[in-house]
C-alpha cells in the first residue's frame, strides 16, 4: 500500500483532482497501456456510481450542510479502495508501453534502468493453466530449475501472456502474433478473470519472461497452453 500512497495523493482535494485526470486518461489509453476492460469498468464504477462513488461522496463531503462523520468514513473507504485498484493497474502496466507523458499523468517516477544493466533472459517458462469456475483462469509458471514451485526468472520484470479466446471450431494459434489478448504478471502464481459469458470457450496462450526496459533481452516463447474457461 505504501507504494501506491507515494504515487496517489492522499489529501481529499488533491486526490479528487488526481482521479479526475487519471480516470479519463486511462479510458483513452487503456488499449495501449494494457489496462483490462474489467479494471476500467471497476474504476469507473468506484468513481462515478451515483450512491457510493467518489464523486458523489466528495460532493456531500464538500457541502457543510451534508458533511457528517458516516459520510467522511465512506469517503475515506472509497479513497482507499480506489487507491488499491490503481496500485494493481500500475503494477500490471508494462513500462515498455509507457511514454514520458504517462509517467507525468500518473505521478510515477521514470525508471532509471540502463539497457546494458541485465543479461538476456534464456529461460523458457514452463506453465500450467486451469479454470476452477467463475470465468477465472489460474496460472502456475516456473523455470526448468524449479520443478516443484512457481518461480520468476531473476532477470525478468514480468511474465508476459499473449492469449486468445477460442469459440467452438476456431483453430489454435501457432504464434503469439495470432493472439489478441495481452496481460502481464509480476508473480509466477496468478490468475486472470474473463467475462463469465466466455465460460465454455477455450483460452489459449503463449508465455515468456519479459524485460520491460529492453525487449530485445526478453526470453523465448513457451509452448502453447490451453484450458476451458469454467462457469
- How is the chain split into domains, by residue range? 2-106, 120-228
Confidence of residue 5 (pLDDT cuts 50, 70, 90): very low
Q: Which fold has domain 120-228?
A: Immunoglobulin-like (2.60.40)
**pLDDT tens across 75-90, in order?**
999 998 999 899 889 9
- Strand ranges (DSSP E) for the chain? 126-133, 136-142, 158-166, 181-185, 189-193, 202-210, 225-228
CA-to-CA dists, residue 190 to 140, 156, 165, angstroms: 7, 16, 18
CA-to-CA dists, residue 180 to 12, 164, 173, 175, 184, angstroms: 39, 6, 10, 11, 14
pTM of the model: 0.53
Amino acid at each position: 500500500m505504501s507504494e501506491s500512497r507515494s504515487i496517489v495523493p492522499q489529501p481529499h482535494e488533491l486526490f479528487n483532482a488526481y482521479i479526475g485526470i487519471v480516470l479519463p486518461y486511462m479510458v483513452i489509453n487503456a488499449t495501449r497501456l494494457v489496462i483490462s476492460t474489467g479494471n476500467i469498468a471497476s474504476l469507473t464504477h468506484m468513481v462515478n456510481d451515483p450512491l457510493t462513488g467518489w464523486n458523489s461522496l466528495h460532493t456531500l463531503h464538500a457541502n457543510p450542510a451534508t458533511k457528517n462523520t458516516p459520510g467522511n468514513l465512506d469517503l475515506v473507504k472509497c479513497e482507499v479502495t480506489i487507491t488499491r485498484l490503481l496500485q494493481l493497474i500500475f503494477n500490471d502496466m508494462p513500462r515498455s508501453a509507457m511514454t514520458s507523458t504517462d509517467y507525468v499523468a500518473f505521478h510515477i517516477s521514470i525508471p532509471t534502468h540502463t539497457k546494458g544493466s541485465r543479461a538476456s533472459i534464456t529461460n523458457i517458462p514452463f506453465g500450467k493453466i486451469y479454470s476452477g469456475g467463475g470465468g477465472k483462469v489460474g496460472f502456475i509458471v516456473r523455470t526448468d530449475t524449479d520443478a516443484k514451485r512457481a518461480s520468476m526468472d531473476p532477470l525478468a520484470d514480468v511474465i508476459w501472456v499473449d492469449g486468445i479466446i477460442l469459440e467452438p471450431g476456431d483453430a489454435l494459434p501457432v504464434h503469439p502474433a495470432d493472439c489478441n489478448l495481452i496481460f502481464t504478471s509480476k508473480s509466477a502464481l496468478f490468475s486472470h478473470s474473463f467475462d463469465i459469458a466466455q465460460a465454455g470457450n477455450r483460452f489459449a496462450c503463449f508465455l515468456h519472461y519479459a524485460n520491460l526496459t529492453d525487449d530485445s533481452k526478453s526470453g523465448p516463447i513457451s509452448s502453447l497452453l490451453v484450458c476451458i474457461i469454467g462457469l
